[in-house]
A and B are shown apart, each in its own frame.
Chain A
Amino acid sequence: MRKRSATLLQTAALWLLPMAAVAQEMDFDIGEAKPKEPKPIYTSEVELGVGWVSEDSYKFGEYSGLETKGPFIIGNLSLQIRDPYDSGDGEYYTLTGTNLGLESRAIRAEYGKQGKFGLFALYAATPKYLHDDARTPYIISNDGASLTLPANWVPGNRNTAQMTNLVADLQDVNIKYQRQKYGGGFAWLAAQGWTVRSSFTRENKTGDQTIAAIFGSTGGNPAAAIVPEPINYETDNFDVSLGFAGKKGHFVLSYNLSVFRDNNDGLLFQNAYTGSWPASVSYPTGYGLLGLPPDNKAHHVRFAGSYLISPTTRATANISYGHLTQNDPFLPFTINPGILAPIALPRDSLDGEIDTILATFGVTSQVTPKFNMRANYRFEDRDNNTPRDIFVVVPADSANQGTLASSTARINQPYSRKQHMVEVEGAYRLSGGAKLTLGYAYDQLERTFSEVSKTKEHSIKGKLNANPSATVHTWVSVEYADRNGSDYDDNIAVISSHTDEFLGPDPEEEFDNHPLMRKYFIADRNRLKVQGSANWLADDKLTFTLVGRYNDDDYNKSTIGLTKSRQFTGTLDASYQVSDAISYQVYYTYQRLRYDQIALSWSSTTPPADMVNFGLRGWTNDIRDKIHTVGFAAEWAAIEDKLDLGFDYYFSRAVTSSDMTAGTALTLAPLPDLKTTLHNIDVKADYHYSKQMWLRLRYQFQSYRVTDYALDGVEPNTMRFAIGLGNQGPDYDVHVIGLSTIYRF
């Protein structure tokens, strides 16, 4: 009986178990459950309010537009209207606007039918406030492209101290510019997997930056003025692409055209000096013309694709062809009619052309469940086809033109570059979630008109990810690279840029740069890079993260130049999620950057023996940056569904010091440290006086101090033969308070 019962039960169970399972799932069937009241979800919001800035500061508002003391409008909006997810139609509209009351405003609108097409239009503005304390004696034309001196100007003989009316003639000039970008585009899903995209944007960049306006034919007799440089640029950007996404393969074929136009050709300026140059160069007759950026165009055709060769192996390819052109008409050698310049320009414009080819081919594969690898080959050819000619230059509108045998008869050097790079990397998963990655890379670069025609760099790296426990995740990586170049041809710049007539029968004897100089970007170099991270989830709420990086570049064969470059960065980060309502984060980062350079001061009269006498004429400069960054942030839902509070503080302190030594023939005095100190506090309180209506109170305090010997106390007449703008380092305490209402719907 008992056995039979058991058998019956077992038999019944075989039937009942799946039925029970079905029944349990049926319990969740919406048709049998009580309908619930859906909770409101708001996808759109509008914020409107007013704020107040307590102090003028271009630095504080350099990108935001909050540069002026006084009120400002707070305006942000985000509208999202989508057809319900199950409506059967995927129409959507979005409108996003940020900082609408400021010069950093941005607006983007989108409309489309999901899965069919999408359209967008955008407008974005970004200011750049540079100096609100600059002063110049120059009278600036309306278009900013002409600078003249006042009628009462008293020139100085390459000496600003002799400009007795300089201070009286100074007038304030605000140095700032703004980018304004607008445009639109579309995406069209032409067929399953096929997408066509296109966009057009135009960016206008207008305003001023600063530039040096200089006279003087050599480094021995310069006379300069820092002046506002007009910016009146326009850049058009057009993109069109065809993309395909299939089960095994994807590709995008695209074309991009970028056209840059500068509405000014040059900057005309009057000489404020007299000096040891032809009389016509001096004030008042002497004028100079600076070249401003020439119009240019860039075309790019690109193909990028990937293909799944096998379920575990993917191949990728990226091929790009670019054609960069620039053919703006040349300005004359000089505009000074008193300067003799009988040798004509060899051409009216550059006819500059750079062709670029870039191709990368890669493969990634999960060779076994535990081992994956990737390999990559990169070829980049930057072929500068700009024609070379002899230009007998007129140095800074300040000397009569030389001859074809003079040092001022120069040949342009259109630099080209070619790169081959191969990378191979394999990663093996060890037990316990650990992973070991080993890699090798070879990078070969060939450059034209370069002291080093070819550099080769081999690098190896290893990385170990390890999880000592379920709550601790760590990784450490070590990379070593060895870059060697072909023989350093120290006088190639002289030989390739001067005429045969100037170089004479033995050009190899000519040199310009010190023969022992090794330029760091092409010099032999050993690089050691060590990085690591440890992340400890102390519990579900508390997390500690330690991150470090050390990079040591040793230019081991450089006698003169940059000899060492080292960077260390360490960060300790902790976050504590007390509850859904309260969270804290605190961090500290220490950075130490070091650049060591060795130099030797010499002139054409230095005896050859002294050219290598470092005890006499050598000098060194070890530049060190030490930067401390501290941050603390907290978020607190003080009253559930009523009051949210946020607090964010960060501090950054940077000190740049120069530790110098000098040979006995040189004069040395310590250089003051550069110091930057920044405190920033942001406090936010959101009071929800209904589910749809919030009141937001924001307060920001920022204190910023810069101690910079290059700016502090440097007045327009501080430098002997350069009229400055007198702009000082930033120094401010700014309070910003804002009150706004947010309506959500």
Chain B
Amino acid sequence: MMKLQPIPALAIILYAVAGISLATGAANGQETAEKPYAAKGAQTCMECHDEPPVTLILHTPHAQKADARTPFASHDCETCHGASPQHLRKEEGSDKRPPVSVTFGVKSSTPVEEQNKVCLGCHEGGLRMNWQASAHHNADQPCAACHTIHATKDPILTRTTQADVCFTCHVEQRAQYRQRSRHPIKEGAVICTDCHNPHGSFGPKLLKEASLNELCYTCHTEKRGPFLWEHAPVRDDCTNCHTPHGSTQERLLKVRTPYLCQECHMESFHPSTLYSGASLPPTGTGERILAKGCLNCHNKVHGSNHPSGVRFTR
């Protein structure tokens, strides 16, 4: 079995970095020459594109000329859409105009990489600094697949509409969300980006925090501990027992108790007892299968700080 320790692992990565850097040193890097932008900037564009949704951009932060960072502080529409003198002329023998140099969206003829390069030209820092390692980047998703720039409110940046945008691709989560227990997503109290950073994160599953439990503790602070009596799978990983996007069981559990507990606990007497239909009243007494199951007694499964709470009953 291969043994991989941290220092050799780091060495591998550094070696890879060095090799890659050498291999790519000569690539790219050519600045384009001065481009023929429209003399009147956005006013030229709006000679034709004078209706929403195009003009909605004027009411968004992207268009604010007073902010030197924005597209409109440079070449207005063409900062993003590229210098497009060809678009100002009709094709010979046609009423159509060639498209602008850069268009956005999943149906755009502009390659995704080129589209995203425009956005990342300004937005590469902060939450997006790990974009190149993200699942959405690897899936060749353009920024405009999710973001609507020509809108006074981008649906994906609005708490009550964000999930609908995410669900257009994440259809399994859309179905889970309809199940018996769920987070308050529809109500906008918990939204996808409260937990995930779709632009690339340093944790698993595009989680905002670098570890899953740290993320859960941001809202469930009472479960953070540390406790005197810890429950190993709880401290290990919340998703050992819970499934966060929705469950057919209460409390987002993968499987209900007692069977969930019995996947680890097979101690003598009642932990290993078979609880079947025979355990239900009137043939059975019911307290280990009805209501809260094992939690009818073991009430502090997330950890107890009571000196007598070793069995999670205090």
Contact = CB atoms under 8 A, between A and B. Distances in A.
A512 B133 CA distance: 45
Contacts of B108: none
Nearest to A159: B285
B174 A352 contact: no
Contact of A373 (B20, B88, B297): B20
Interface string B301-314: 00011111111011
B66 A89 contact: yes
Contacts of B305: 291, 293-294, 326, 328, 330, 350
B186 A233 contact: no
Interface string A332-366: 11100000000001000010111010101111111
Contact of B268 (A350, A375, A603, A660): A603
B33 interface: no
Contacts, number: 536
Interface in A165-208: 179, 192
Contacts of A425: 138
Contact of A606 (B43, B228, B255, B268): B268
A722 B272 contact: no
A442 B2 contact: yes
Contact of A313 (B20, B264, B298): B20
Given A88-B66, A214-B297, A720-B287, A520 B40 contact: no
Given A293-B223, A324-B225, A465-B140, A520 B263 contact: yes
A435 interface: yes
A146 interface: no
Contacts of A456: 1
B34 interface: no
Interface in A502-525: 512-514, 516-517, 519-521
A265 B305 CA distance: 10
Interface stretch (A135-143, A279-287, A393-401, A686-694): A393-401
A90 B67 contact: yes
B265 to A, nearest CB: 7
A304 B28 CA distance: 26
Given A573-B171, A676-B179, A214 B313 contact: yes
B249 interface: yes
A666 B125 CA distance: 62
List 3 A-B pairs, minimum CB-CB distance, nearest first. Answer: A115-B67, A291-B306, A245-B125
Interface residues of B, number: 145
B44 interface: yes
Contacts of B99: none
A432 interface: no
Nearest to A537: B107
Contacts of A243: 125-126
B38 A587 contact: no
Nearest to B176: A591
A30 B47 contact: yes
A556 interface: no
Interface in B189-247: 189, 202, 210-211, 214, 217-218, 221-230, 232-233, 235-237, 240
B259 A262 contact: no
Contacts of B72: 85-86
B263 A562 contact: yes
B137 to A, nearest CB: 9
A82 B266 CA distance: 64
A394 B227 CA distance: 18
Contact of A422 (B9, B217, B295, B310): B9
B44 A29 contact: yes
B16 to A, nearest CB: 5
B64 A656 contact: no
A396 B225 contact: no
A668 B295 CA distance: 23
B292 interface: yes
